[in-house]
Amino acid sequence: MVKLALQPGASVARIAREHDINDNLLFKWLRLWQNVR
């Protein structure tokens, strides 16, 4: 899901809804992933 969210024009909220998770959780994963890079 993180890779999907990083695509140009991707909607984090839409991706989260499609995978039945909270938007904030996906935003948190994105922050963690970007901090590791």
pLDDT tens-place string over residues 1-37? 999 999 999 999 999 999 999 999 999 999 999 999 8
Per-residue model confidence (pLDDT) at position 14: 97
Per-residue model confidence (pLDDT) at position 25: 98
Domain count, the chain: 1
**Per the structure block, which two tokens stand in for 24?**
């904030």
Cβ neighbours of 14 (radius 10 Å): 12
Under 8 Å CB-to-CB from 22, ≥6 apart: which residues? 16
Give the domain range for residue 10: 2-36
Per-residue model confidence (pLDDT) at position 31: 96
Query: CA of 22: how far to CAs of 8, 17, 19, 32, in Å?
Result: 21, 7, 9, 16
